[in-house]
Amino acid sequence: MTFQPLAEIADIGRDRELGGWSRHLLDPADRALREWFVGRAQELGLQTEVDVNANIWAWWGEPGPDSVVTGSHLDSVPGGGAFDGPLGVVSALEAVGRLRSTGFVPRRPLAVVAMAEEEGSRFSVACLGSKLLSGALPAERALGLRDRDGFSLAETLDRAGLAPERAGRDPGALSRIGLFVELHVEQGRGLVELDSPVGLASNILGHGRWRVVFDGEGNHAGATRMQDRRDPMVAAAATVAAIPAVAMAHPGSRATVGRVRAVPGGTNVIASRVEVFLDARAEEDLLTRRLVHEITELAAARAAENGCSSRLVEDSWLPTVHFDPAVREGLADALAPGFGTVPVLPTGAGHDAGVLSEYVPTAMIFVRNPSGVSHAPAEWASAEDCWAGVDALTAVLTAHLAA
Ligand code: HGY
Ligand code: MN
Ligand code: MN
Ligand code: MN
């Protein structure tokens, strides 16, 4: 059985080439999904607004201090799953729909939020909307970020009718948040092993994104003898092949290369430059730093062997997040009547809640993912567990909005 609220948007952003869904900040799919969100929220009687950082807020009651905010993101990784992000947004709308249909009157303002560019699939920085909102990422650095077609974030915001010069830290928006709760499909099998449909987050692994840039000598694929080459692709490939062993030497670490960019990228052209996009994470931030350092040294050695140079560029970094146990306890108390003791577990995936937890009281609810697979078309959660997530979120909102 399919979780109907997600089925409603399943045709938006379906990627026929990659499979799964591709929805990236303000591209046609993202715009269609944002339009759907605004329409659905307005049907529920919520007041919608797009903030200066392209995050969308749907308010029940006047925006004000001590609001309860819930939601997630609508964008995806390339060829991603249907649940990562949208499950949190549609579940929030379902919970609000339930509360409104029972005549519930909240004692605090409530907002459902769809954060912009959480996956960083277009501008390469994860949690862009929440990092701009909180000031974790300075606007002047973000506005110059360019997508694969060379468009800057500033141009993209401008073309969407937003004022890029106003993007950045939004103290007003931050000060209104009394509690942020993000519901998210689990990206892993923790809840399967714990045999529970829902769970609460304890912490998020620190993680970052780097580019290892190899520079060599661009040349003709046919006219250049093998011994005369300074081919950065060879250095890059040898480095990528050696990364798993480096990560495995640090138990609990994860290092991934999901994207490589050859410049200029012609089949009959020896590349002049190759960029290796690295995602590294570990249970201790120092360990992540050490892992990246070892990979950088490995790259320098492979580059030297091939007459090339290498350098490291840091694109983004989010330290390990420990969610506030007192905030989590508040959710656990609200869930106890309906769910008993809800398990608490860590996540290796980043979230807007991780960014915002530095600034406002924040918690996360996870929904069981039977295979644990995420960032792939096979990502899935049962309708039963998704409705359990809506039940859980409704209980949490009821308890915190009545307070
Ligand atoms: O990359 C992450 O961990 C998140 O899904 N953006
Ligand atoms: Mn994700
Ligand atoms: Mn996500
Ligand atoms: Mn030619």
pLDDT digits (tens, 9 = 90+) for 197-212: 999 999 999 999 999 9
Shared domain for 194 and 248, answered yes or no, is no
Shared domain for 302 and 284, answered yes or no, is yes
pLDDT for 226 beyond 80:
yes
Q: What residues have their beta carbon closer than 5 A to ion ligand 3?
A: 84-85
| Residue 272 structural domain | 207-316
Mean pLDDT of 313-338: 96
| CATH value at residue 329 | 3.40.630.10
pLDDT of the residue at 1: 62
Atom in ligand 1 nearest the alpha carbon of residue 375: 5
pLDDT band at 28 (very low <50, low <70, confident <90, very high): very high
Shared domain for 106 and 28, answered yes or no, is yes
Instruction: Give the annotated binding-site residues for allantoate.
Output: 209, 268, 281
Quote the ligand 4 centre to 264 CA distance (angstroms). 14
Shared domain for 174 and 281, answered yes or no, is no
Atom in ligand 1 nearest the alpha carbon of residue 126: 6
Shared domain for 21 and 146, answered yes or no, is yes
| CATH value at residue 307 | 3.30.70.360
pLDDT of the residue at 367: 98
Question: What are the structure tokens assigned to 250, written together?
Answer: 């640090």
- Residues near ligand 1 (Cβ within 6 A): 118-119, 126, 349-350
Strands 219-220 vs 344-347: parallel, antiparallel or unpaired? unpaired
Q: What total of structural domains would you count in the chain?
A: 2
Instruction: Give the annotated binding-site residues for Zn(2+).
Output: 73, 84, 119, 184, 375
Quote the ligand 1 centre to 325 CA distance (angstroms). 23
Shared domain for 17 and 35, answered yes or no, is yes
pLDDT of the residue at 270: 98
Mean pLDDT of 295-308: 98
- The mean pLDDT of the chain is 97
Shared domain for 227 and 311, answered yes or no, is yes
Segment 156-178, tens digit of pLDDT: 999 999 999 999 999 999 999 99
pLDDT for 353 beyond 90:
yes
Pocket perturbation via mutation, ligand 1, pick of 204, 375, 379 by most ligand atoms within 8 A of CB: 375
Shared domain for 39 and 104, answered yes or no, is yes
ipTM score of complex? 0.89
pLDDT of the residue at 269: 98
Segment 135-160, tens digit of pLDDT: 999 999 999 999 999 999 999 999 99
Mean pLDDT of 256-267: 98
Atom in ligand 1 nearest the alpha carbon of residue 281: 3
pLDDT of the residue at 403: 73
Shared domain for 293 and 334, answered yes or no, is no
